Structure 1
Amino acid sequence: MIYRIFIFLLLFLFIPFEAFSQRSLTGKVTDSLNNPLAGANLIAEPRDSLKQLKFAITGDDGKFSLQLENIYYTVTASFMGFEPNSFEIKPSANMSKDIVLNPKAEGLEEVLIEMPVVVKEDTIVYNVDKLVTGEERKLKDILKKLPGVEVDRDGTIRVRGKEVTVMLVENKKFFGGGSKLAAENIPADAIDQIEVLDNYNEVAFLKNVSDSKEMAMNVKLKEDKKNFAFGDVEAGKGNKDFYRAHGNLFYYSPKTNLNVIGNLNNIREQVLTYEQYFNFKGGLNSVFNQGSTDLNSSNIDFTQFLESQDVVESRRQFGALNISQEVNNKLDISAYGLFSKTNEKTFVEAINRYNSFSEISENSSAIDNVIGIGNIQAVYLPNLTDQWYFKSLFKRTDNKYKKRINSVVDSLNNTFLTNEDVRGSFFNQSIEWHRKSSKEHTFSAAVNYTFEKRLPEILWETSDPILQGLVPIVEQPVYLINQKKRVKNNQFNAFFKHYWVLNKNHHIYTTLGNTYLNNKFQTHEYQNLDDGSFNDFSNDNFGNDLDFTLNDLFLGLHYKFQLGIFSFDQGSYLHQYSWKVSQADLVTKNKILILPSLRAEAKLSQTKDFEFEYQLKSSFSDAPQFASRYYLRTYNSVAQGNENIENGLSHNFKFRFNKFSTYRGFQYYAVANYTQQVQGVVNSVNYEGINQSIIPILLQDPETRWSIYGRLSKKISEIDFRGGTRYNASRYKQIVNSNLVENTNTNFSYNISGKALFDNFPIIELGFRQIFGSYKLSGRKSKFITNEPFLNVDYDFWKGFIFSFDYTAYRYKNKDLNLSNNYEIANTSLYYNKGNSAWSFEVEAQNLFDVEFKSRNSFSSYIISDNRTYILPRIIMFTIGYKL
C-alpha cells in the first residue's frame, strides 16, 4: 500500500499539472549603460493580499526568473544606489522583460524598498517577513525556508554548505553561541531579520587581518518584542504515562537580555545531547587556534554515557538560564547556566565479527547523567583601540552506568555486569587582549588555563570465567573485579600575535606561543573475595602512578597576499617539543619540528568561490598511552601503555567549492578532505577468545582517510529538487596477534528528493536515500546496503490548522552475514492555533506503526557489528500551548 502512495506522489512531483498554471517572467536587470547588476532584488507583490509574494535575485550576468500565477502583480526591481523600477503585470504565458535601473540623483527623496535577501561581500541578510507564510513556530521552521540554508536533524545549521558555528541574538551570543538551543526555542513570530556573517570574529578590527573559519548567524527581533517579555509554555500527556512539558521566556532590551528554557519529558526529546554538553569547553578567540598542537584526550571514561538515539525508556530534565547586562559603554557582562538530568535504558542484540571468530550478544544498559555548566564572560573596551575579554567556564558531572552483557561464542554462554560511577570537574579561565595601535599594526595576546579531574570507579561482576590469562583472578562462584582511576589534567597556554599590514594586498603575521600540559594517571585494580579480603593485582604488574608533562614552544611566521580574485596565506610554525614520562622509570625526550601550512581562496564571483587548505599537523597522546603497567579497559580487555611512543604527524588537505544562483534556482557545493598519517600510534591487539590485551605502538604510514561530500539543489517551477552524495574511505594498519594487517572501510551514500511548494497546497517532499558499506577486517569482508525512501508532508489549512507527517522505510541487507531487516518509521501531528489567540493545541503520534527495533551496521578497529536496537513504542500525545 505504501509503495502505491509513493508512486502516486512521484507522478505528482515529476509530471507538470496545468491546475497549478505557473508562468515564468524572465529577463535581465542592467544599469543605464547596459552593465548587468548582479544581486539586484525583484519582488512580485500580488494584488490579492491572500496570495504569496514572489521574489528573485539576479545572477552574476544580471538575469532573473520569477514563477508567477495568472493574477495581477506589482513587480519592483531594486539595487543599492539605484532608483527602484516598478511595473504591473498579469502573465498569461511565459514572458520576458529586461529592466533598466537609473542611478539615484542627489537631492531626490529616497524610496525605501525592503529586499527579501541582501548579499554584500561576506554578509547575507534575510528579511523574514518576505520569505515565510506565518505558520512557522520556531526559528528552525524559518531557516528551512531560507534560500541556501539547511538544518540537519541534530540541529546543525549550514549556509551555502558551510556550518554555522556561532549563534547570536541581537548581536549577543545565545548560550555561548550554540545553534541547537536557538533553533529549537526562539519563537518564529518574534524574528524580523536573520544575518549570516562569514569570516566572523567577535573582535571587529581582527576581521580583515585574520582568516576566521567561523560563520555566525545573528537573529534580529521585531521592535514589538524588545523591552517586552515573550515566550511560550507547552504541556502534553500521552498514552502509557508518556508526558512532556516545555517552556521558554525571552526578554531583550538595549542593555539587558534574559533567556530561560526548561524541558521535562519521557519521550526521548533531546534538548542537548551528552556529547554537546561535553563540547562546552569555553576557551579563546579562534585566532589563537592556529599553530597549536593537537592533544588527543582519551574520553573512554565518558563514551558509555553518550545517550543513544534509540532507547526503551527515557526520562529527561533540563533547565537553562542566559543573561547579559551592559553595565556601561565600556563593560558588558554575560553569563549562562545549564542543568541536565537524564535517565535512559537501552537494549541491543548484536552479531559481532572479530578477527578470528563471531559473537552473539545481548546488551542492556541504564545510564544516569547529571550535568551542570556555568559560564561568565566580561568584555571591557576602555577605548577605541583596545578590547579585553575575561571568560570562565565550570562543568560538573556525576554519571552512573549499568550494563548487562550476555555473550555467546561457540555455544559458550557468558554473562557480565558492569557498574560504573564517574564524577568529573572541569574549569577553564582565559584572558584576552587585542589592540589596533595603527592602520599597519594590530596585536593580540592571551593566556588560557584548563583544569580537569575525573574519578571513575568500576565494578565488573560475573559468575563466568573472566579475563583468563590476563588478570590474576582467584577462583570463586562470583567474580567481583574493581577498578579505581584518578585522572587529573592541567594545561596552560600563552599566545602573542602581531598583524603587520604592509599595504592592502600584503600582510605579515607573527605568532609566539607556549603550551604546557601536565597529566596525572593513577589506576588500582583488585578482586573482592568471599571472606571479605581483597586480591590486589598490584603484584602482577597492575596499578599505575604516572605523571606526563609536555611543553610546546612555537614560533610562527605567515605571509598573506592577494592577486586579483585570489588570496594566499602561507607560512610555517617552528615547534620545540620537550616531554617527560615519570613512573617507575623517567623518560625524557626533545624534538624540533617545522609544520608548514597553506591556504588559498578564490572569489570567482559574488555567488561562486573555492578554498584550498593544507596543513602538516602534529599530535600527542595523553597519559594512559604512556602507562608502563597494565590497567583494565572493559570487561574483556586489558591495556598497557608504551612510554617510548612519540608524536603523530599527518598531512591534511581540504578543498571546498560553492556556487549559488537564485536566477537559475540552483545551488551546489562540494567538500573534499584527505588525511595521510606520516606516523601515528596504533594498537597492537592480542586475542584470547573475546578477551583482548592492547599495547600502543608507533608506526609509519599507519592510516589514510579521504572523504567527499557534495550537495545540489535546483528549483524548477514550484518544485525544489535536491540531491547529495557522500563518500568516506579509510585504510589503516593494525597489529593482531603479532601480525601486521591492513584494514579498509568504505561507505558511499546518495540521496535525491523533490519538494512541491505550490501556493494553497500541501508542501510534499518525496525522496530516496541509499547507503553502501564495505568493510575488510584482517582479511574478512562484510558488505551491506540500506535503502531508505522517505516522505514529508506539511499542510496548513482552514486558517489555523497545520498537519505534518514524516515517513521513512528502511530496507537493510548484509550480504555476507545473510541478514536482512525491513521496518517503517512514521510520525505525524495536527496543530491548531486560531488567528492571534495565545492558545494552541496539538495531537501528535511518534512511531506511528509501533516498530519494535531498528537494524544498523557499525565498524571499529576490531569488530564488525550488525545491531538490532530496540526503541520506544508508539506514543500518542495531546499538547496544550500558551504564548506569553
Structure 2
Amino acid sequence: MRFKVSFILVFYFCLFESVSCQNILLSGSVKDSLHNPLSYANVIAKPVNVAERIKFSITGDEGNYKLELVKNEAYIISVSYMGFKTVSFEFNASKNYKKDIVLKSEPNQLKEVVIEIPVLVKEDTITYNTSKFITGEERKLKQVLKKLPGVEVDKNGSVTVQGKKVTKMLVEGKKFFGGGSKLAVNNIPANAIDKIQVLDNYNEVAFLKNVSDSDEMAMNILLKEDKKQFVFGDVEAGKGNEEFYRLQSNLFYYSPKTNVNFIGSLNNTNEKTFTFKDYISFQGGISSVLKGDGALYKASAGNFSTFINTQDLVSSTAKFGALNISKVVNSKLDISGYAIFSHAKNETLNESVNQYTTITEEKENKSTAKNILGIGKFNIEYAPTTNEQWYFKTQFKKSDNLQNNAIISTIENDQRFVFVKNNAEATYVNQNIEWHKKLTNKHTFSFASDITLDKNNPTTIWETNQLILQGLIPVEISDNYNIHQQKEIENVSINTIFKHYWVLNNFNHIYTTIGNKYNNESYFTDESQQLENSSVNNFSAAGFGNDLNFKLNDLFVGVHYKFKLGIAEFKQGAFLHNYNWKLREQTRLNKRKTVLLPDFSTTVKFSNSKQIKFNYQLKTAFSNASKLANRFYLQSYNAVYKGDENLENELYHTAKLNYRRFSLYRGLMLYGGVDFTKKIKGIQNAVQFEGVNQYVTTLMVSNPEERWDFKLNINKKIKQIKYGVKTNVLTSKYLQQINNSFVTNKSNSVGYTISAKTLFDKFPIVEFGFEQRLGNYTSSNITSKFITNQPYLTIDYDFLKGVGLSFDYKRYSYENKNFGQKNTYQLANLDLLYKKEDSAWSFKINAQNLFNEKFKQQNSFSSYIISDSKTYILPRIVMFSIGYNL
C-alpha cells in the first residue's frame, strides 16, 4: 500500500512539473518616476488568442510583480495604478523575461481609462472581479471562492481571506441569513455573482469604523444587474440505493428594496444544512457593543445545541426550512427577519473503552433522538441622519428534544444495562436596543440594552434491572430500578452599557465605558425512585433536591487610551468591577467584591499585508447556579454531583500573540500564533471513585491550570502548485483532586498537515497531503498515547463541456498504544455532475462512503477519563439526482 501511495505521489509530481514547463515567467517591478515602489498596482496580461484566459498580478510591498504565461502565446500587458497613466505593451511569451515599469502621475486625469481589473485593493477593501477567475462550470459560491487568490474555504463552509476568517456574509450590503458563511457558500448560485468585496475591520455602523476596535471581516456578494430584480435558485431531487433520498431547494428573490430567500431540505443521508456553528451565528443576543469589557458570566445557554450537533449517525431523517426577508422601507428605515425550522430523527451507535484511575470500562451506547428547533428574528434599523443609527432586534427560539439511550457498561466481565430517557424543552427570548450617535468629529456615543429570558426544563429517567450508584443514592432494593429526575432552569439577564469615543486627534483616542450586568438564575432539581407498587421514594431526605436562586449584579466602569506611534498602535486601560451576588437555598448569602481588570494590546502594521498583534487581559468569570447548588443531584447513571455555595469568581491571565504575512507576488500566506492561559484561582472538580461510580464536587484552587496553544500555517505557491504546512500544538496541565489526593493531569497534542495543490487552468485541481496527530495524556499517573495518520487526496475537475467531477479520499491509520489497538479505515466520496451550457437542467451521481466502512475511531481526554471510541456511520450511499435552475 505504501508503494502504491508513493508511486501515485511521484507520478503526479512529475506530471505537474511537465505541465509547469509549458509556462514562462514575466517579472519585474512597478515604480513611479521617483523610483518609489508602487504596491498593489495591477498588472494584467490579455491574450491575443481569446480562447486563453487573462493572467494578472498585483505588486507586493516592494513593487515587484510576476506573471506565469502560456509559452509561445502573445499578450497585451497593461499596468495601472490610481492617479497614474496606464502603460501597455505587447509581449510574446517565448522565454522568461524581466521588465521594470515606470508609471507617470496623471493628477489632472480628464477621462476615465476603463480596464478590466481582476483584483482591486483599496485601503481595507479588496474587490474581486469574479469573471476573471471562473470558467462557467461553477455551481455555487463555494466553487467561485476557491478560485480567488488569497481565499480559502474549508469543508464546513468557513471562509478565510489572507489567513483571516470572514465573520459576516453580506449580499448587496445586507446580512445573508444572520451573516453566517455556511448557508451562503453552499447555496448562492455562482451565475448570479458579479463581484465579491472583502471588507476588513468591518463595522455595521459606518461612522464607528475608525473609532471602535473591530477585528471583524465581512464578505459582500455583489449581484449581476439582471439578478438584482429576479427570481433565481435551484431545486434538486435525488434517489439512492435502499431507501436513501434527498430533496433540496434554494430560492432567491432580489430587488433594490425587497429581498426574499428560502432554503429547504429533506434527506436521510445525514446532510447537515444547519449545524451548531450556524446556530451560534444566528444566536444573536449580546450586541458587539456589549462585548469586550473583560467580564464573563457563564449563564445557561439553553439546551439548543443538542439538536443540531454535527455527528456521525447510523440512521438519519432531517427536515429543514429557512425563510429570510428584508425590506428597505425608505432611505432611513430597513426591516428584516428570518424564520428557521429544523426537525430531525437520528440514531447513533458508539463503542468506547474508558480508562479511569484504577479500572477500565467497555461501554456501548445506542441512542435514538427526535429533535425539533424553531428560530425567529425580527430587526428594525433606523437611521434618521448619516450620523445617527438605531437598532431594534427581537429573537425567539423554541426547541423540543426526546432522546433514548441504551447503555451497556462492562467492567471485568460484569455487565450493567441502563436505559436513559431524556425529554427537554428550551425557550429563549431576547430583546436588544442599540443607539449610536456621532455628535461631532471628536465625540461619538453608543448605548445598548439587552434583555434575555432563557428557560430549560429537562426530565430524565434511568431504568435498569441492576443496582446503580450504590452507596451514593438512597434506593430501595427492587427487581427493577426506575430513577426520575426533574430540572427547571430559568435565567433572566439585563445588560446595559454606555460608551464615549473621544478623538483627541488622528493619533490619540480616549474611550470611556460605564455599564451594568444583572443576572437572575433559578435552579431546581428533584430526584426520586418510582417503586413497582406505584409509590415514590423521594431522595430529598438524603440531601438531594435543589431549589436555588442566584442573583449577580456587575456594575463596571472602564477607561482606555489608544495612541499611534509610527507603524505601531497601542491601547491600554482597565475595567473596575463591583460584583454583588445573592444566593438563596437552605441559607442566604450576600457578598460583594471589587475587581480591577487591566488589559493591553498593540498592533504593529509593517504594511497592508504584514502585521503582528499582541493582546493581554486579566479576566474573571462567575459560575452558573448548577455549581453553586449545595445539595446533591444526578449527573448521569454513574455520577452524583454536589456544588459549593461559597464559590467565588475565577481569575486568570490570557495572552495572545500572532503574526500574519500575505504576499500575492511571492505566493506566500503565513500565519503564526501563540495563546496562553494561566488561572490564578479557578474552580476544579474533585472526584471520588467507587468503581466507575463518581461523586463529584467543586473546589476553588490556587494556580490550578495552565494552557498553551501554538499554531503555524504556511502556504507557498511555486509555479502552479501551492504547498502547505499546518501545525498545531496544544499543551495543558491542571490540578485535580481524585480520591482526596491532588494529582497533576497533563495533555499534550501535536498535529501537523503537509499538502500540495495544483492551480493549472487546464488541469484538474488536485490536492494531496498527509495529516498526523500525536496525543499523550496523563491522568492520575496513568499515561495514554495515541497516533492517527491520515493521507488524503481531493480532485476537482471540469472537463468536456459541462461535466464536473469531485472526489475526496482519506485513509485513517489509528493506534492506541495502551491497549495495543490498531485500526485502518478509508473514507471516500464522489460527485459526478453534468450540466449542458445554457440548460436549466443538471444531472448528478453522488456516492458517499465508497468503501462501505462501518465506523470511525478516535480518542478524547477529560478531567479524569481517557477514552478510546468507535462511532458507527451510515453505509455506502449511491444517489442519482436531477436539478433544475431557475
TM-score by length of 1: 0.98
Following the alignment from structure 2 to structure 1, what is the Cα–Cα distance between the partners of residues 513 and 883?
54
Question: What does residue 21 of structure 1 align with?
Answer: 22
Cα 1:305–1:418 shift into 2, 3 Å = farther
Following the alignment from structure 2 to structure 1, what is the Cα–Cα distance between the partners of residues 370 and 722?
44
Cα 1:831–1:545 shift into 2, 3 Å = same
Deviations 1:531-586 (A, max 9, x none): 11111111111111000000000000000000111111110000000101101100
Deviations 1:287-335 (A, max 9, x none): 3202152112356956655534311001111000111111111111010
**Segment of structure 1 superposing worse, 547-556 or 22-31:** 22-31
Deviations 1:476-511 (A, max 9, x none): 111110001000000001111001111110010000
Runs of 5+ in structure 2 lacking a partner? none
Following the alignment from structure 1 to structure 2, what is the Cα–Cα distance between the partners of residues 300 and 217?
30
Q: Cα distance, 1:45 vs. partner?
A: 1.8
Q: How does 1:311-326 map to 2 (within 5 A)?
A: 311-326=313-328
Q: Cα distance, 1:693 vs. partner?
A: 1.0
Indicate conservation of the 8 Å contact 2:303/2:425, yes or no. Answer: no
Q: How does 1:721-760 map to 2 (within 5 A)?
A: 721-760=723-762
Indicate conservation of the 8 Å contact 1:51/1:759, yes or no. Answer: no
Indicate conservation of the 8 Å contact 1:284/1:432, yes or no. Answer: no
Following the alignment from structure 1 to structure 2, what is the Cα–Cα distance between the partners of residues 529 and 275?
43
**Segment of structure 1 superposing worse, 757-766 or 206-215:** 757-766
Indicate conservation of the 8 Å contact 1:13/1:719, yes or no. Answer: no
1:702 is paired with a residue whose SS is strand
Cα 1:354–1:304 shift into 2, 3 Å = farther
Select which of 136, 148, 159 maps to 2:161.
Answer: 159
2:83 is paired with a residue whose SS is coil
Question: What does residue 8 of structure 2 align with?
Answer: 8
Question: What does residue 693 of structure 1 align with?
Answer: 695
Structure 1 counterpart of 2:873, one-letter code: I
Q: How does 1:490-639 map to 2 (within 5 A)?
A: 490-639=492-641
Structure 1 counterpart of 2:113, one-letter code: V
Select which of 470, 474, 477 maps to 1:475.
Answer: 477
Following the alignment from structure 2 to structure 1, what is the Cα–Cα distance between the partners of residues 184 and 700?
44
**Segment of structure 1 superposing worse, 130-139 or 780-789:** 130-139
Following the alignment from structure 1 to structure 2, what is the Cα–Cα distance between the partners of residues 2 and 270?
34
Indicate whether 1:56 and 2:57 are aligned.
yes
Q: Cα distance, 1:274 vs. partner?
A: 3.9
Q: How does 1:72-91 map to 2 (within 5 A)?
A: 72-91=74-93
Question: What does residue 69 of structure 1 align with?
Answer: 70
Cα 1:300–1:735 shift into 2, 3 Å = farther
Deviations 1:259-306 (A, max 9, x none): 110011111110112454256331244232021521123569566555
Following the alignment from structure 1 to structure 2, what is the Cα–Cα distance between the partners of residues 287 and 6?
54
Select which of 398, 412, 419 maps to 2:400.
Answer: 398
Deviations 1:608-656 (A, max 9, x none): 1111111111101000111111111111111111000100111010112
Indicate whether 1:280 and 2:279 are aligned.
no
Following the alignment from structure 1 to structure 2, what is the Cα–Cα distance between the partners of residues 824 and 300?
37
Question: What does residue 794 of structure 2 align with?
Answer: 792
Indicate conservation of the 8 Å contact 2:302/2:454, yes or no. Answer: no
Indicate conservation of the 8 Å contact 1:248/1:260, yes or no. Answer: yes
**Segment of structure 1 superposing worse, 527-536 or 753-762:** 753-762
Cα 1:478–1:743 shift into 2, 3 Å = same
Question: What does residue 104 of structure 2 align with?
Answer: 102
Cα 1:33–1:876 shift into 2, 3 Å = same
Indicate conservation of the 8 Å contact 2:511/2:560, yes or no. Answer: yes
Following the alignment from structure 1 to structure 2, what is the Cα–Cα distance between the partners of residues 105 and 483?
77
Q: Cα distance, 1:3 vs. partner?
A: 5.2
Q: Cα distance, 1:360 vs. partner?
A: 0.7
Indicate conservation of the 8 Å contact 2:300/2:491, yes or no. Answer: no
Following the alignment from structure 2 to structure 1, what is the Cα–Cα distance between the partners of residues 636 and 310?
19
Indicate conservation of the 8 Å contact 1:377/1:390, yes or no. Answer: yes
Following the alignment from structure 2 to structure 1, what is the Cα–Cα distance between the partners of residues 96 and 146?
29
Indicate conservation of the 8 Å contact 2:274/2:308, yes or no. Answer: no
Question: What does residue 854 of structure 1 align with?
Answer: 856
Indicate conservation of the 8 Å contact 2:294/2:617, yes or no. Answer: no
Deviations 1:711-761 (A, max 9, x none): 111111111111111111111111111111110111111111111222322
Indicate conservation of the 8 Å contact 1:205/1:436, yes or no. Answer: yes
Indicate conservation of the 8 Å contact 1:859/1:865, yes or no. Answer: yes
Structure 2 counterpart of 1:58, one-letter code: T
Q: Cα distance, 1:158 vs. partner?
A: 1.6
Indicate conservation of the 8 Å contact 1:41/1:78, yes or no. Answer: yes
TM-score by length of 2: 0.98
- Over the aligned positions, Cα root-mean-square deviation in angstroms equals 1.5
Following the alignment from structure 1 to structure 2, what is the Cα–Cα distance between the partners of residues 883 and 30?
48
Q: Cα distance, 1:113 vs. partner?
A: 1.4
Q: How does 1:204-283 map to 2 (within 5 A)?
A: 204-274=206-276, 276-277=278-279, 280-283=282-285
Runs of 5+ in structure 1 lacking a partner? none
Q: Cα distance, 1:20 vs. partner?
A: 4.9
Indicate conservation of the 8 Å contact 2:391/2:434, yes or no. Answer: yes
Deviations 1:44-75 (A, max 9, x none): 12222222221111111111111111111222
Question: What does residue 136 of structure 2 align with?
Answer: 134
Structure 1 counterpart of 2:499, one-letter code: K
Indicate conservation of the 8 Å contact 1:22/1:68, yes or no. Answer: yes
1:277 is paired with a residue whose SS is helix
Following the alignment from structure 1 to structure 2, what is the Cα–Cα distance between the partners of residues 533 and 810?
53
Cα 1:394–1:540 shift into 2, 3 Å = same
1:16 is paired with a residue whose SS is helix
Indicate conservation of the 8 Å contact 2:346/2:369, yes or no. Answer: yes
Following the alignment from structure 1 to structure 2, what is the Cα–Cα distance between the partners of residues 189 and 318?
25
Indicate conservation of the 8 Å contact 1:333/1:378, yes or no. Answer: yes
**Segment of structure 1 superposing worse, 15-24 or 81-90:** 15-24
Following the alignment from structure 1 to structure 2, what is the Cα–Cα distance between the partners of residues 636 and 74?
75
Indicate conservation of the 8 Å contact 1:830/1:843, yes or no. Answer: yes
Percent of aligned positions that are identical: 50
Question: What does residue 675 of structure 2 align with?
Answer: 673
Structure 1 counterpart of 2:659, one-letter code: F
Question: What does residue 146 of structure 1 align with?
Answer: 148
**Segment of structure 1 superposing worse, 490-499 or 27-36:** 27-36
Cα 1:501–1:124 shift into 2, 3 Å = same
Structure 2 counterpart of 1:752, one-letter code: I
Following the alignment from structure 1 to structure 2, what is the Cα–Cα distance between the partners of residues 880 and 748?
44
Indicate conservation of the 8 Å contact 2:169/2:218, yes or no. Answer: yes
1:382 is paired with a residue whose SS is strand
Indicate conservation of the 8 Å contact 2:302/2:426, yes or no. Answer: no
1:17 is paired with a residue whose SS is helix
Select which of 763, 766, 772 maps to 1:764.
Answer: 766
Q: Cα distance, 1:11 vs. partner?
A: 3.8
Q: Cα distance, 1:18 vs. partner?
A: 5.8
2:282 is paired with a residue whose SS is coil
